[in-house]
Amino acid sequence: MSKHEHTPSFKSDLITFGLLMLLTAITIWASYATGGTTVLAVLVAMGIATVKATLVVRNFMHIKYDDIIYKLFIGAVIIIFGVFITLLAVDYFYR
Amino acid sequence: MAHYEIPNSGLKRDDEGKKMGMWLFLFTEVLLFGGLFLVYAMYRFQYFDEFKIVAEHMDITLGAINTVILIASSLTVAMSITAMKKGLDNVAVLLIIITIFLALSFMVNKYFEWSNHIHHGLFPGFEAFNNLEKGEGMFLFLYYFMTGLHGLHVVVGAVLLAIVIKRIMLGRITSENIVFQENAGLYWHLVDLIWIYLFPLFYLLH
């Protein structure tokens, strides 16, 4: 049974780090370019944060090597949070 | 892997179970912070202008430095696990020591940031804070609560990593028995994940 085995490498760790740093620079630049609190600014900031979070979970937390069950769990957590924030928005705007 | 061979194998370990337990714990952490993010979203809608006014006074440079520190510490933790799997115990220990040092730098930055706010009386209970508009106070309250809870996680993560060093020294973590180090790493990456969202929400949306 070797389906969990993978060759760990410093190189892939460093590439992930480089991408995270690049995205951090982009999100700081974008916050000025988009004017801080416009709808666009919020979408861009949260979008970039989510790309960074995906990189951390996939490459640093090794989800890409893990069983499908972990991916399903994470998917469920994202859906639950999505439902909560949608309900919050509906409640706020239509109360 | 060992966990498939537990029956009659003489091994008394269940690495897969330990890892899944850690992930389930991490999901409860996501629920904890997720609730706070919902509160933040609610009040951001409600006090849009007030949030903007206070957010403008946040120090983006300090926030960015702390972001770089945490991402670098995530790298060193990931590399320490890679090193351990390759059997490079000393490299792994060195990388974890660097991680703990980065965690301390993060907390020192936070100390300067908070003391600067508190010096201006912008902390619940002080007069300057009480004179703020309701929404402005709410931004600062959420800022202290969420970055404070996150800072607590940084401290806990650093303690866990110190335990990892001790266990490597004692030979209780080896390239074949690495699940404790991997779980401590997962916790550390969660701390980084939360900061990835806190940074734009409190510093960049100004």
Judged by a CB distance cut-off of 8 A, whether residue A73 touches chain B is yes
pLDDT at B2: 47
Nearest residue on chain B to A59, alpha-carbon basis = B78
Judged by a CB distance cut-off of 8 A, whether residue A60 touches chain B is yes
pLDDT at residue A93 greater than cutoff 60: yes
Residues of A in Cβ contact (< 8 Å) with B18: none
Residues 82-101 of B with CB under 8 A from A: 82-83, 85-86
Confidence of residue B12 (pLDDT cuts 50, 70, 90): confident
Is the torsion defined by CA of B123, B127, B130, B131 positive or negative? negative
Look over chain A and give the mean of its residue pLDDT values, rounded to a whole number. 90
pLDDT at B14: 86
Q: Which tens digits make up the pLDDT trace of A35-52? A: 777 788 999 999 999 999
Judged by a CB distance cut-off of 8 A, whether residue A65 touches chain B is no
For residue B19, give the nearest of B171, B161, B180, B165 by alpha carbon: B180
Average pLDDT over residues A21-36: 92
Please, which contacts does A47-52 make with residues 24 or more away whose CB atoms are closer than 8 Å? A48/A23, A48/B200, A49/B196, A49/B197, A49/B199, A49/B200, A51/A23, A52/A20, A52/A23, A52/A24, A52/A27, A52/B196
Highest mean pLDDT among A60-64, B57-61, B73-77, B126-130: B73-77
Cβ–Cβ < 8 Å for B186, B22: yes
Confidence of residue B37 (pLDDT cuts 50, 70, 90): very high
What is the token pair recorded at A47?
Answer: 């979008």
Q: Which tens digits make up the pLDDT trace of B135-179? A: 999 999 999 999 999 999 999 999 999 999 999 999 999 998 999
Residues of B in Cβ contact (< 8 Å) with A13: 75, 78-79, 82
Q: Per DSSP, what are the bridge partners of residue B177?
A: B174
Question: Nearest CA of chain A to the CA of B194: how many Å?
Answer: 9
Q: In A34-67, which residue ranges form alpha helices assigned H by DSSP?
A: 39-55
pLDDT at residue B82 greater than cutoff 80: yes
Q: Report CB contact under 8 Å: A24, B67.
A: yes
Please name the residues in contact with B92: beta carbons below 8 A apart, sequence gap of 6 or more. B80, B81, B83, B84, B168, B181
Query: In order of start, what are the domains of chain B with their CATH numbers?
Result: 13-204 (1.20.120.80)
Question: Nearest CA of chain A to the CA of B82: how many Å?
Answer: 5
Q: Report CB contact under 8 Å: B71, A21.
A: yes
Q: Quick one: how far is CA B11 from the chain centroid?
A: 33
A35 phi/psi in degrees, rounded to 5 = 85, 15
ipTM computed for the complex = 0.91
Tally A–B CB contacts below 8 A. Answer: 112
Confidence of residue A95 (pLDDT cuts 50, 70, 90): confident
Cβ–Cβ < 8 Å for A85, B38: yes
CA separation for the pair B20, B22 (Å, rounded): 5
